[in-house]
Amino acid sequence: MKTPLIMTPGPTSVHEDVRRAMSKKITNPDLDMEFYEFYKETSDRLKQLFLTSNDILILNGEGILGLEAACASLIEPGDQVLCLDNGIFGKGFGEFAELYGAEVTYFKSDYRKAISVEELEQFLADRHDFKLALLVHCETPSGITNPVNHICPLLKKYGILTVVDSVSAVGGEELRTDEWQMDLVLAGSQKCLSAPPGLSIVSISGDAWKMIQSRKQPVAGFYCNLSLWSSWYEKKWFPYTQPVSDLYGLRAAVDRILTEGDSITRHKKYAEAVRTSLVDAGLELYAQDGFSNTVTTVLVPDGIRFQELFNAMLTNHNIMIAGAFDYLADKVFRIGHMGENCREETLYLALKALNEVLKKHRVVLEKELHIEFVNLISQM
């Protein structure tokens, strides 16, 4: 099997340093006191990425586990929950809350735009009796980043706890957990952090801990119950056996980002270069504003179907791009420029291949895609 270059918005390419870290000898994580220190140090380094002094837990399941654990641990039946819905993940987050008995109010806004802070402000002035709000930092299917820097402080002004799905943003978009008053921030290992899928990361504020600890009814379930983790370090006790190799990999991935220093600027620069290249060629982006720095979603142009584009990229160029699902299925294609894929070499290869495939299928473009990123970026 010839592994393709995965230019998808997660999972992303995993660097050799990370793969090497994962092949280290394992220990018994429950009995080895050094492993507790390793876990704590890893969590401390994640705090540097999240810009927070809140607790950070690393849970042993793919990103969705974090979303579900947040709902399971915070919500009691009948709770009023606000769901900010401008995309597939936003809406889905509300549905998770419903599974745990919440009465969810959807603040639905244009799926091609970032959430409008002014409209939300007007809505909240009328109604704000919510225990918590669920929102998505980057809507990965549509390639839209929401202004969580304005939204979270606004919600907190009304005493509403903020729960943010930042799975496809952490490491690629600016994130200031404490400054922006984000109570729960959720991330996953396989997006901008560029570790393999398998881990969820959750940062938990003091207010969120208070909400969890003052529940009237116990959390239904064990794996999603965050309260079990409240003093894991003091007690030297994990609720279940830790996936040692996954954690070694995550640590190496986080260390790579911290060593680089400013991964956010890199994501901004290349995202803008990719968008410029596509738009100048006459392709239409799905997003009309709030352009994501980690993924670009493009309408499939006339003259080719999504599946043909996907197959040609994979078969002829060994590059995997993504489509999307739900109402966007077959209408768009997506290029992930997150984590290790957000590099000149990989984006050059992806856009060069895309240009060739579109030409071969006689898709009419205004001009060919720019692929020389060095030139593009130096012109900005």
Looking at residues 349 to 378 of the shown chain, list those that interact with ligand PLP (rule: CB under 6 A): none
* Distant-in-sequence, close-in-space partners of 84: CB < 8 Å, separation ≥ 6: 90, 107, 109, 115, 120, 133, 134, 135, 136, 146, 151
Q: Where are the beta strands (DSSP E) in the chain?
A: 5-6, 55-59, 80-85, 103-108, 132-136, 138-139, 144-145, 161-165, 184-188, 200-204, 295-299, 319-320, 332-336
Handedness of CA 302, 308, 311, 312 (dihedral sign): negative
The interface region with ligand PLP, picked from 161-169, 222-230, 314-322, 329-337 by CB under 6 A, is: 161-169
Query: For residues 88 and 254, which CB has a smaller minimum distance to ligand PLP in the complex?
Result: 88
Show the binding pattern over residues 180-219: x = contacts ligand PLP (CB under 6 A), - = does not.
Answer: --------x--x----------------------------
Q: Please tell me whether residue 292 binds ligand PLP under the rule CB under 6 A.
A: no
Selected from 55, 62, 68, 85, the binder of ligand PLP by CB under 6 A is 62
Q: Please tell me whether residue 323 binds ligand PLP under the rule CB under 6 A.
A: no
Selected from 49, 136, 193, 273, the binder of ligand PLP by CB under 6 A is 136
Total chain residues near ligand PLP (CB under 6 A) = 12
Radius of gyration in angstroms for the set of CA atoms belonging to the chain, rounded to a whole number: 21
Selected from 167, 212, 271, 351, the binder of ligand PLP by CB under 6 A is 167
Query: For residues 148 and 353, which CB has a smaller minimum distance to ligand PLP in the complex?
Result: 148
Q: Which residue has the tokens 């596509």?
A: 278
| Dist CA 135 CA 120 (whole Å) | 12
DSSP helix/strand/coil, 6: strand
The interface region with ligand PLP, picked from 56-64, 218-226, 250-258, 341-349 by CB under 6 A, is: 56-64
What would the two tokens of residue 100 be? Answer: 């745990």
The least distance separating ligand PLP from the CB of residue 67, rounded to whole angstroms, comes to 6
What residues form DSSP beta bridges with 83?
106, 134
Tell me which residues touch ligand PLP (CB under 6 A). Answer: 10, 62-64, 89, 136, 140, 165, 167-168, 188, 191
